Amino acid sequence: MQLYNTLSAEERAELIDQAGKQRLTLSFYAYAKIEDPKKFRDDLFIAWNALDALGRIYVAHEGINAQMNVPAENIEAFRETLEVYDFMKGIRLNVAVEHDDHAFLKLTIKVRHKIVADGLNDATFDVTNKGIHLKAKEFNEILDDPNTIVVDFRNHYESEVGHFKGAITPDVETFRESLPIINEQLQDHKEDKNLVMYCTGGIRCEKASAYFKHQGFKNVFQLEGGIINYAKQIEEEGLESKFIGKNFVFDNRLGERITDDIVSQCHQCGKPCDNHTNCENDGCHLLFIQCDECKAAMENCCSTECLEITHLPLVDQVRLRTGKQVGNKVFRKGKSESLKFKHSGDSRARLEQAKQLTDTVLATVSTRGGAERSGAKSTDIRQKIKIKKTLLGKAEHYYVKAQVGLFIIENQELNSGDKILISGPTTGNQEMVLDKMMVNGTENTMAKIGDKVTFAVPFRVRLSDKLYKILN
């Protein structure tokens, strides 16, 4: 009986592309008393693996927290696997604003001590005694009340790229740090203020609302379904969005746009930008904001030191990081002396800060995802997911100075004039028309299986990127 993944991320991505079927990105959570989390985990894996459902899921005695990617044709069958459990009957699925077939490439279900680490050891704290849930219209109305204090219970790197106007945004790296900071800051307002909170999908502020009720706050409210559900409701009901910018998400997309406003800067040059990236150096993987120009110049790296390391032979790179912890265990997310334009995350004052980020809009995005044209509308994601494509091959190299990509053709033919798509977790989905190409070093109008093809690409291409031909 299979209880673990048997395919690599690359193999799974290729199968998804070959299937050519629409997948939905969604999230959900539920607080409940689960007697045997290990058995619960195994039962879910068997049911979801059969439906080709992928994602990152945590289960614990206190409930379940899931971010997933499910084939659209299997969504009803997926719901049925949830309805088996009383505490998940009728559960709300937060469907993403933007879908990406590669949002998750594995099914990972882990048993944890808690589904949301809170640092609390208070046996009298009842997580089910939550605050009042507010829908988008009610949330907008209470934000207009001068008697309201609104708090963002996400981390600094999330709120930096998008937040509700006027919200307090604790300068923290973890949810557990937020609770004592806000509790101390608002001690004098337990009786006289509306304490309104929000997070990405609702799971963190649901626990926070129960915590603050436990601490004696009288008027505690939370945004139902978080920012994800809010975005859906304001679009359906034609409401004003009081959230500005982008909503950070914990999958390969690293964000989905709620409004066209850009409220943050590239951490390297200061240009208006709200695209997160992970440093290309495997001994770093720092999460930071990087514009396209810096991405090309720095080859996806956070510093010249990391850039130099990525150019070393692989054996030397491995040697340099041997015995060292990597990723966010080395650097804090978005906090490094190498980042000149990171305006939050001062570790010296972090534990005392519960500040308000600026609501100033630095730029607006255009339909092509840039920041050139004010007031332009974002591309409708429903148009993107209808694109029919076939996999041609994969990226082999990118020549930064020449802005030329090298690809190996593994399936079907490629011809000059074809409309192509270059896609990857960091690159996103980039469409272009192939005007001219070199095939095995010679200019040609057609490439066959096994050929090496080079052509001009005005954006950074990575080894994880795939090359597709658009069929419609």
Q: Does residue 49 fall inside a structural domain?
A: yes
Please report which residue ranges of 84-155 form alpha helices under DSSP H.
136-143
The average pLDDT across 351-357 equals 52
Phi, psi of 264 (to 5 degrees): -130, 175
At 419-428, the pLDDT tens digits run 999 988 677 7
* pLDDT of 229 over the 80 cut: yes
Out of 174-178, 220-224, 346-350, least confident range: 346-350
DSSP lists the bridge partners of residue 272 as: 265
In a domain, 309, yes or no: no
**Boundary-marking domain end, from 95, 111, 127:** 111
Tokens of 161: 């790229």
How far is residue 112's CA from residue 125's CA, in Å, rounded to a whole number? 19
Give the CATH number, domain containing residue 463.
Answer: 2.40.30.10
DSSP run (H or E) holding 158: helix 156-159
| Least confident interval from 133-147, 274-288, 365-379 | 365-379
From residue 112, give the alpha-carbon distance in Å to each of 37, 41, 391: 9, 11, 38
What tokens were used for 323?
């015995």
Q: How confident is the model at residue 36 (pLDDT cuts 50, 70, 90)?
A: very high
Structural domain harbouring 104: 9-111
- Is the distance from CB of 199 to CB of 247 less than 8 angstroms? no
Residue 183 domain-assigned (yes or no): no
Query: How many domains does one find in the chain?
Result: 2
Question: Domain for residue 24, yes or no?
Answer: yes
Give which of 326, 251, 322 is closest to 281, Cα–Cα.
Answer: 326
Q: Is the dihedral of CA 154, 90, 100, 10 positive or negative?
A: positive
Q: Is residue 104 a contact partner of residue 90, using CB atoms and an 8 Å limit?
A: no
Q: Count CB-CB contacts under 10 A for residue 396.
A: 15
- What is the separation, in whole angstroms, between the first and last Cα of the chain? 41
279 is an active site residue: no
34 in any annotated domain: yes
pLDDT of residue 334: 63
Q: Cα(237)–Cα(26) distance, rounded to whole angstroms?
A: 21
pTM attached to this predicted model: 0.63
What number of residues does the chain have? 472
Structural domain includes residue 310: no
Q: Residue 78: inside a domain, yes or no?
A: yes
CATH of the domain at 100: 3.30.70.100
Residue 368's pLDDT is what?
Answer: 38
Model confidence at 233: pLDDT above 50: yes
Instruction: Quote the strand ranges of 199-346, DSSP E.
Output: 220-223, 243-247, 256-257, 261-262, 276-278, 287-289
Q: Is residue 38 part of a domain?
A: yes
